[in-house]
Chain A
Amino acid sequence: MSWVIDRSGVDALCRVLTARGYALVGPTVRDGAIVYDRITSSADLPVGWTDEQAGGAYRLKPRNDRALFGYAVGPHSWKKYLLPPRLTLWRAEREADGFVVLEESHDPPRLALIGARSCELRALAIQDRVLLEDACVDPYYRTQRDRLFVLAVNCGQAGGTCFCASMDAGPRASSGYDLALTEVVAGERHYFVADAGTPAGHEVLNAVPHATATPDEIGMADAVIARTAESMGRSLDTTDIKRLLYDNLDHPRWDQVAQRCLACGNCTMVCPTCFCTTVEQVTKLAGAKAEQVRTWDSCFTLDFSYVHGPGSLRSTHKSRYRQWMTHKLATWIDQFGTSGCVGCGRCITWCPVGIDITEETAAIRGGTR
């Protein structure tokens, strides 16, 4: 059963979630991009803005309507909340006969993610698989994950670099949300068709003014999503992709892409599924206290694969780009039973030289018999 809330219902949702103890995080315009940050009401949303995305290019542009969610995805992903870029894991303190180690206790806030896209929900599910469902669980991720309310928004417009349809990850959110909205702006009417995915979602929806959606309203919402699915900026043929990449580790295309790749690691930072981290020891109080601090890392750095003796095992840009792309699209499947790519297009948009994972895959496919 679907429901309808009107434009003011979004603010009612914000109030209800705030009253339930959630801090709201969602899209907002800052420094010429749509980023995720604390918000309090719909006034903080990118009202009337959209984005233009292409390989290595991103630009905000005014829309000719007052849509709240009329853009694709920006450089941020929700992973910054669940897997913080910098986190203290434990502390060690010197004592007379050695030291003690104290696990850092974390108390992350209850967070409501406002406006999560289908591809991002897939990315969350993939990170769940990696960080929660193996022998070892990331405790911070676990705690923050349990304190989420997910308000999804089905995409009303595909970005120029989007290919979620190819990755079976969108544009309609199929699971992983408490509440999902589809925004419809039709002439004078501006409303949202809402579906609850969980009892918590139902409860929140019931607390705001809503009506049962008419077949007409549902039809309008479905058409919005169908149009998005048809206007994907990119596509990626995933047929037998694991074999394709496993069998082509020596393909000449890797040398070509290595000529362009700067190994800057932007693609890994913006990717909503990339989860690699490193640790550093930070000492304080003249060496009496030490902290184990975890930070995001990237497989594009030389240090990432450093071992004493041979040195960096991936010393070339070729080996690092190949590692990244082969991991995303192929080895991830063996490791976690899912692709590591959801087709959000961020790595294409935010690559300074516009390297395109869909293009590279196609080139390798084209170059094989």
Chain B
Amino acid sequence: MIPCPAEIVEKRSETRGIYTFRLRVKDEGKRAAFRFRPGQFNMVYAFGVGEVPISIASDPDDLDGLDHTVRIVGNVTGVLERLKVGNVVGLRGPYGSWWPLEESRGRDVIVITGGLGCAPVVSVISYVVRRRGSFGALKILHGIKAPTDLVYRRQFQAWAKHPNTEVHLTTDQPDRRWRHHTGVVTTLLGRVTLDPANSVAMMCGPEGMMRAAARELLERGVPTESLYVSIERNMKCAVGLCGHCQLGSEYVCKTGPVFRFDRIRHWFEHPGV
């Protein structure tokens, strides 16, 4: 349960206030033993400030380093922003559940994300595009409040170029230069063709958005067992001991952050639980 030092071997600026840190665990033995699945997270420690949960964004087959895409929002992430290549952070993990990617081979993957919170689904998209032939259609639906919230602009363009891959973007408050859709993310669902029996939906973003998207998908005939969400909760221990991450009967750090929707639906539909 103690963090192990990891060196920042690369720091990439994604967009304003978002960086991808490539971390390499210093201890060779621990580095070699580290295996994770997309959707899992690490606790990243900034010396003297604290630990925060951050999803692992790199490919599980890439054993050379671990990518973490961090949005700078507060104390710990604020210190991370000031760190440079060669600096050291602490790392412990991987924790939590993962996306059902192995189980979804051969099926269509619908990725629904909203706001700025799409880090956990980036791992899904990268995983599918790297193994493009093993999956059916990939449909990426992304909704944001205002066009300035569009992060990963370049990635969206790159992903759209893959075969059998669609990217749909929408905003609530379009400006004059916006050339995509207008409206909340659920309106995008009306625009894509779905093969409900053969699709798996993986969602991450504001909870209201996920609730609405799940409702819409269920109405379109996607079975509830095919809906997955990644949930954010305050986390201190990441191992089920501190109590912070509870969502009804679940500890998000243990049985989440990725949940099959029906497993948490009851709690999810009562904000404040």
Least CB separation from B88: chain A residue: A98
User: How many angstroms from the CA of A326 to the CA of B249 in the assembled complex?
Assistant: 9
Interface residues of B, Cβ cutoff 8 Å to A: 1-5, 7, 26, 45, 47-51, 73-74, 87-88, 90, 115, 117, 206-207, 232-234, 236-237, 239-244, 246, 248-249, 251, 254, 266, 270-273
Most buried by B among A99, A314, A326: A99
User: How many angstroms from the CA of A141 to the CA of B112 in the assembled complex?
Assistant: 42
Least CB separation from A136: chain B residue: B239
Interface flag for A307 (CB, 8 Å): yes
Contact: B241 with A313, CB < 8 Å? Answer: no
Most buried by A among B2, B51, B266: B2
- Other A-B contacts than A278-B244, A297-B244, 8 sampled, CB-CB below 8 A, are A92-B90, A134-B241, A250-B270, A277-B242, A281-B48, A308-B74, A309-B115, A331-B249
Minimum CB–CB distance from A104 to chain B (whole Å) comes to 9
- Partner of B272 from A130, A287, A309, A318 at Cβ < 8 Å: A318
Interface flag for A212 (CB, 8 Å): no
Interface residues of A, Cβ cutoff 8 Å to B: 89-90, 92, 94, 97-103, 130-131, 134-136, 138-139, 246, 249-250, 275-281, 283, 287, 290, 292, 297, 299, 303-310, 313-316, 318-319, 322-323, 326-327, 331, 334-335
Q: Is the interface of B mostly helix, strand, loop or mixed?
A: loop
Contact: B273 with A323, CB < 8 Å? Answer: yes
Minimum CB–CB distance from B157 to chain A (whole Å) comes to 26
List residues of chain B with CB within 8 A of the CB of A283: 48
User: How many angstroms from the CA of A117 to the CA of B246 in the assembled complex?
Assistant: 30
Minimum CB–CB distance from A103 to chain B (whole Å) comes to 5
Q: A308-B74, A309-B206 are in contact. Are A103 and B2 (CB under 8 A)?
A: yes
Most buried by A among B207, B248, B266: B248
List residues of chain B with CB within 8 A of the CB of A278: 236, 242, 244
List residues of chain B with CB within 8 A of the CB of A280: 50
Minimum CB–CB distance from A281 to chain B (whole Å) comes to 5
Q: Would you list 30 pairs from A and B whose C-beta atoms are within 8 A, ordered by A residue?
A: A89-B1, A92-B3, A99-B47, A103-B2, A131-B241, A134-B240, A135-B240, A246-B266, A249-B270, A249-B273, A250-B270, A275-B241, A275-B243, A276-B243, A276-B244, A277-B241, A279-B237, A287-B48, A290-B47, A290-B48, A297-B236, A305-B233, A305-B244, A308-B73, A309-B115, A310-B206, A319-B273, A322-B273, A327-B246, A331-B249
List residues of chain A with CB within 8 A of the CB of B246: 299, 323, 327, 331
Minimum CB–CB distance from A253 to chain B (whole Å) comes to 15
Least CB separation from B74: chain A residue: A308
Count the A-B residue pairs with Cβ separation under 8 angstroms: how many? 120
Most buried by B among A136, A277, A290, A319: A136
List residues of chain A with CB within 8 A of the CB of B254: 134-135
Minimum CB–CB distance from A305 to chain B (whole Å) comes to 5
Contact: A277 with B270, CB < 8 Å? Answer: no
Least CB separation from A330: chain B residue: B249
User: How many angstroms from the CA of A264 to the CA of B243 in the assembled complex?
Assistant: 18
Contact: B272 with A277, CB < 8 Å? Answer: no
List residues of chain B with CB within 8 A of the CB of A277: 236-237, 241-243
List residues of chain B with CB within 8 A of the CB of A303: 234
Minimum CB–CB distance from B78 to chain A (whole Å) comes to 11
List residues of chain A with CB within 8 A of the CB of B7: 98
List residues of chain A with CB within 8 A of the CB of B47: 92, 94, 99, 290
List residues of chain B with CB within 8 A of the CB of A335: 249, 251
